[in-house]
Amino acid sequence: MILNHRQQPWTKAEATHIRHVLHRFSGTRFTLVEHDNGYALRPDYDVSDNQQALRSQPPVRLRPAWRAQTGPLALTAIGGGLVLLSSNAEQLGRNLSGTLAQFALWEPSWLGASLVGASVATLGLMLFVWGSFRLFLNVFSFRYELGTDRLVAQEGIIRRQRRSIDYRHARIPTLRQGVIERLLRIGSVHVSSAGTGDSGEIHLRDIKNPQTILDEIQSRIDAATRGAWR
């Protein structure tokens, strides 16, 4: 039952006007009901059933997809390849020394097989460690959850930042997906809020099956919006 801000009934003219405004902006139909020498509004559906259906939906937890981390994966692969290549250091050093001697007509005395192997191994290890570190940060620093009543985003590992948007205040979610992202079946879903008590915007970056997630968010927004006027 919906009353005015003082929890008092409206006049019939006021209730009719409010019903028109609510229907226009929420898409929900309301019925005028006599209440204490005035009129109140009642939604044309069972709000409790709708809220129960919304709460029955299990939470969905997400992280950025591994396959979206092309840069860190490439660094890790290159670094690992160089480390494996350095295991044949002696032959590598001889080939490189011979190449320099052929074109420069001299062979540097410091370019021994062990030095070449150590240099390649060091470079490969650095690339492997840095790529693995970036891969870990890009995936495990972000966590998203489609909860029963709000969308939550958490960033950070040591120092965490948490943002949330109530589904009742969320606007229509949007999908951002380029050509490469479509081929990899990844993308980013953006959700903004019209409520003053929420976190403004949440970006679900580089998630897999983004269209499915967008549809799930939209269904939860629709369910929460239909039950917002309780």
Q: How far apart are CA 99 and CA 115, in angstroms?
A: 16
pLDDT of residue 12: 87
Q: What is the pLDDT of residues 151-163, one digit of tens each?
A: 999 999 888 899 9
Sheet of strand 150-155, all strands in order from the earlier edge strand to the far edge: 60-62, 142-146, 150-155, 161-166
Distance between terminal CA atoms of the chain? 7
Token pair for residue 121?
Answer: 């191994």
Flag the least confident range among 42-46, 120-124, 144-148. 42-46
- Segment 174-203 mean pLDDT: 85
Phi/psi for 46 (5° steps) reads -85, 105
pLDDT of residue 230: 40
pLDDT in tens, 189-210: 999 987 655 567 899 999 999 9
Contact between 89 and 82 under an 8 Å Cβ cutoff? The reply is no
Give the pLDDT confidence score for residue 128 in this predicted structure: 94
Q: Which residues of 70-105 are buried (b: 16+ CB within 10 A; e: fewer)?
A: eebbebbeebbebbeebeebeebbeeebeeeeeeee
Higher pLDDT among residues 136 and 169, named by residue:
136
pLDDT at 129 over 50: yes
User: Does position 43 have pLDDT exceeding 80, yes or no?
Assistant: no
pLDDT of residue 19: 82
| Burial (CB count within 10 angstroms: exposed 0-12, middle 13-18, buried 19+), residue 26 | middle
Reported pTM: 0.64
The pLDDT score that the predictor gives to residue 76 is 94
Other beta carbons within 10 Å of 207: 20
Point out the least confidently predicted range of 31-35, 54-58, 132-136: 54-58
